[in-house]
Amino acid sequence: QVQLQESGPGLVKPSETLSLTCTVSGGSISNYYWSWIRQPAGKGLEWIGRIYASGGTNYNPSLKSRVTMSVDTSENQFSLKLSSVTAADTAVYYCARDGRGATSDYWGQGTLVTVSS
Amino acid sequence: DIQMTQSPSSVSASVGDRVTITCRASQDISSWLAWYQQKPGKAPKLLIYVASSLQSGVPSRFSGSGSGTDFTLTINSLQPEDFATYYCQQANSFPRTFGLGTKVEIK
C-alpha cells in the first residue's frame, strides 16, 4: 500500500520560503507524477503543480513564479518550495500521486503551514 | 483555466436517500473528470476517475456519468459514512482545477 507523508515547518514568516517534503513508502517514486495541492481553512482545493520522477514539471500559472518542485529518487521523496509567502499562502498542503486518469489516487494526510511573523 | 461549477453547494439528505451532484466544466474536457470525497480534517479520497470508473475499494453505491461539459455523481442509498464534502476535478488540461465542493449533510 502506497503511503505519503508530508514534512516541514508549520510556521513560516512572510516573505520567506515555504519548504515541504513528501516521503513515499510502500512503492517506488519512479514512473509516476507527484502533485502538491493546498487547501486554506474552510475553503476548496487548489492544485499547485506536479513533478515526474525524471524531473519534468507542470505548475499552476498563478503560482509559477514562486514555485519550485524537485524529486530525489534515491530517497523516494519529492519537494515543494514556495517563495515570498504571504498570509494568503496559509493552508493545509497535501502531496499526492497521479494515478489512473491523471487523478490523485494516493494522498498524504496533509500538513498545516501558517504564514505569520 | 477551466472553471468547474458544482451544484448544489450543499444538500440535506437522509440515510437511504439517493443523492445527485452535478459538475459543469467551462469547456469540453471529454471524460477527464474525477470525483473526491473529503471528511473534516482528512485528505480527499478518490472515488471516480475518467468520469465513470470506480476507484478500487469504493462502494458500488457511488457512480459517475457524463462527458464533455456535464457530469454527475450519484450516491445510491446514502450511508452514515457518506456525509462529507464532494469535489469534482478536471484532468484535461493544466492547471488542474476543482469545483468548490458540495456538502452532503444529514437531514
The arithmetic mean of pLDDT across residues B22-28, rounded, is 98
Structure confidence at residue B107 as a pLDDT band (50, 70, 90):
confident
CA distances (Å), A54 to each of A73, A74, B18, in order? 8, 12, 44
Contacts of B53 in chain A (CB under 8 A): 100-101
> Is residue B63 pLDDT above 90, yes or no?
yes
Q: What is the mean pLDDT of chain B?
A: 97
pLDDT of A50-84, one tens digit each?
Answer: 999 988 999 999 999 999 999 999 999 999 999 99
Instruction: At B29, give phi and psi (nearest 5°).
Output: -120, 15
Size of interface A-B (CB pairs under 8 A): 62
Search chain B and give the residue with CA nearest A60. Answer: B95
Q: Do B98 and A61 touch (CB under 8 A)?
A: no
- Flag if A108 and B89 touch (Cβ within 8 Å): no
Is the pLDDT reported for residue B93 higher than 90? Answer: yes
The span from the CA of B27 to the CA of B68, in Å, is 8
How many Å apart are CA B23 and CA B28, to the nearest integer?
12
**Which residue in this structure is represented by grid cell 444538500?**
B11
Which chain A residues have a beta carbon less than 8 Å from that of B99? 44
Q: If chain A, 117 residues long, is cut into consecutive pieces of 10 residues, what is the mean pLDDT of each piece?
A: 97 98 96 97 97 94 97 96 98 95 94 97
